[in-house]
Structure 1
Amino acid sequence: MSVQAIAFDLDDTLLRDDRSISPYTISVLRRAAGMGIHIVPASGRTSSSMRRLVDQIGCASCYVCCNGAEVRAPDHTIIMQELLPVDIARQVAAWAAKHDVYAQTYDEYRFYFNKYGKYAEDYKLSSSLEGEYVGDLEAFITQPTTKILLMDEPVRIAELLHEAQTIWEGSLSLTCSKPYFLEINPLRATKGNALKWIAQRHGFPMTDFIAFGDSLNDTSMLAAAGTGVAMANAREDVKARADVTCRSNEEDGVAHYIENNVL
């Protein structure tokens, strides 16, 4: 197996359930990097929410944020970016308001949300970002953004995803990294497209990429990579699209697969 790059999702893939990274996993990733393999964290998280984890890993050649809307260097500078234009972002915010659903957007360091409640509090805890209530999100958006995130109960999110697809399929990227998330990004902002951009930049084929993931926003990179690996804890429809499966995130599945098949 020729491997020049390894990409992996963070939540429920590399991270354990308590959102920590084991010393064993960090050691394996650093050994791979020492062999000249590109290490590429790839998450739906914003760059600010990824920084501490990327720094902890300590060997990333770059990292993918916001489901592929950004690629950043190890020093956190932007090297590729896709943005939602203001008019489109405001359309999405207005649609969320019409459905009375929680929605948020981002800048470099914080998130801005339209409704107080458990979703804002839970997101603050899981992302380590500060949030700010702005009320009318449509009016608040005056700059292009990488992503708008809606949150609700899984059944409602499935309904909203279906409706969003009828409105924006072919013009926006729509995905769900968790059952209670609906993530809306620029059309070309997928993890798979970000990995293709990275491979082209470094001059190696996509067949030399391994990618690990667990959820719907990972399927584009599992399909694009030469080897797509689904976690044991992945959704069944994600496993069906992967080439192989590995141990769960709680069992350091990414690290065990790399150690057994790459190192």
Structure 2
Amino acid sequence: MKAVVFDLDDTLLRDDLSISDFTVRVFRRLHEAGFFVIAASGRAQLSMKPYVDQLGCVSVYISCNGAEIWDGRDHHSISRELFSAETAVEIARFGEKHRCYMQVYEGGCFYFNRDGIYARRYAASARLTGVCAGKLSAFIREPRNKILMIAREAKIASMYAEARGIFDGKASVTCSKPFYLEFNPVNATKGKALVTAADHLGILPEKIIAFGDSLNDLSMLQTAGKAVTVSNGWEQIRPWCDDVCESNNQDGPARYMNDHYLNGEVLF
């Protein structure tokens, strides 16, 4: 293997949204040993940046479920996918039909349709500033890289099935949490972004080991040469994985890489 890619939330991050010192030391040692280190998340770029900086060894990172790829050293943009303003408005109207909380991203902010617990919780977890924009189908006037909807799990499950049919060929539809429904440009998946990132680094995707936990990680796990899910990962993705490591709260990806590729040299 020449590279390792990992999701952040519920995979590398603990439930308190922290990265342990042990995890930092393992991935820095892997980098010293010649591994490329790649982070891939549904988070926006500015929400990922503090974690990339903390690790201090990330070669490239993938944000917004594959809509954007960034250099891990100076944070310049490598590639970006957008869907048209017309498609974004159509998606917003779908959310409005279901009376769903939703948000779009611009700069260091997210713009949401109504204030409440979802907006406040997201701002705290993503460390981004939220701005109430009202009706998003009226607010959106430019191409977008992601629209996120948040609701109860049963509602999201129903909306996911409906959205996959309506937006087939227009948008990539996925979930990173059971209460998240995420829309990205049709060519924006973690798997496709991983192929682009691998080409940028001069390696083959089959030389990458991937760690993930949820549906939005599936394309990445299928693209990589070896796929590992954390023990807290969704049951739906396990059939596509080659192995299971310990949970995110037990630093599963770092422990796995330390044991299998560093001969346990980094002490816990």
How far 1:201 moved relative to its partner?
2.0
Distance across 2 between alignment mates of 1:7 and 1:234: 16
C-alpha deviation, 1:84, in angstroms: 1.3
Q: Which amino acid aligns with 1:31?
A: R
Give the equivalent residue in structure 2 for 1:100.
99
**C-alpha distance in structure 1 between counterparts of 2:194 and 2:60, whole Å:** 11
> Which residue number corresponds to residue 143 of structure 1?
142
Contact kept in structure 2, 1:231 and 1:239, CA below 8 Å: no
| Aligned equivalents of 1:204, 1:61: Cα separation in 2 | 13
Shift of 1:132: 0.3
The corresponding residue for 1:87 is: 86
Partner of 1:234: 233
1:175 aligns to what? 174
1:99, CA displacement in angstroms? 1.4
Gaps of 5+ in 2: 263-268
1:202 paired to 2:201: yes
Moved over 4 A (4+): none
**Cα distance between partner residues in 2 of 1:116 and 1:202:** 42
TM-score scaled by structure 2? 0.96
Aligned to 2:252: 253
Q: CA deviation at 1:138?
A: 1.1
| RMSD, aligned CA | 0.8
Q: Distance in 1 between matches of 2:82 and 2:76?
A: 16
Task: State the Cα distance separating 1:36 from its structure 2 match.
Answer: 1.8
> How far apart, CA to CA, are the structure 2 residues paired with 1:171 and 1:96?
16
C-alpha displacement of 1:203: 2.4
Identity of paired residues, percent?
A: 46
Cα separation, 1, equivalents of 2:86 and 2:220: 29
Deviation of 1:41 (Å): 0.7
Deviation, 1:19, is 0.6
- Of 19, 27, 34, the match for 2:32: 34
Over residues 213-239 of structure 1, what are the superposed CA-to-partner deviations in whole Å (9 max), with x where a residue is unaligned? 000000111110000100000011112
Q: Any stretches of 5+ residues in structure 1 without a counterpart?
A: none
State how far apart, in whole Å, the 1-side matches of 2:149 and 2:163 are.
11
Indicate if the aligned counterparts of 2:102 and 2:149 stay in contact, CA closer than 8 A. Answer: yes
Work out whether residues 87 and 170 of structure 2, in 8 Å CA contact, stay in contact via their aligned partners in 1: no
- Does the residue aligned with 2:210 lie in a helix, a strand or coil? strand
Looking at structure 2, the residues matched to 4 and 49 of structure 1 have their Cα atoms a distance apart, in angstroms, of 27
How do 1:180-195 and structure 2 match up within 5 A? 180-195=179-194
Q: Secondary structure at the match of 1:150?
A: strand
CA distance in 2, matches of 1:61, 1:180: 31
Of 17, 20, 32, the match for 1:19: 17
Within 5 A, what are the aligned runs for 1:52-91?
A: 52-74=50-72, 75-91=74-90
1:33 Cα deviation after fit: 0.6
Q: Which amino acid aligns with 1:114?
A: N
Deviations 1:53-94 (A, max 9, x none): 110011100100000000001222211110111110011111
Q: Determine if contact 2:211/2:228 at 8 Å carries over to the other structure.
A: yes
Q: May I ask how many residue pairs the two structures share in their alignment?
A: 261
| 3-state secondary structure, aligned to 1:219 | helix
1:145-164 map, 5 Å: 145-164=144-163
Distance between the aligned counterparts of 1:127 and 1:143, measured in 2?
Answer: 23
> Aligned to 2:4, what secondary structure does the other structure show?
strand
Post-superposition offset of 1:171: 2.3
**Normalization by structure 1: what TM-score?**
0.97
Helix, strand or coil for the counterpart of 1:165? helix
Amino acid in the other structure paired with 1:190: T
8 Å CA contact 1:172, 1:186 repeated in 2: yes
User: What whole-Å deviation, never above 9, does each CA across 1:75-130 have from its counterpart, x for those lacking one?
Assistant: 22211110111110011111111211111000120100001111101101110101
- Offset, 1:31: 0.4
* Deviation for aligned residue 1:142: 1.5
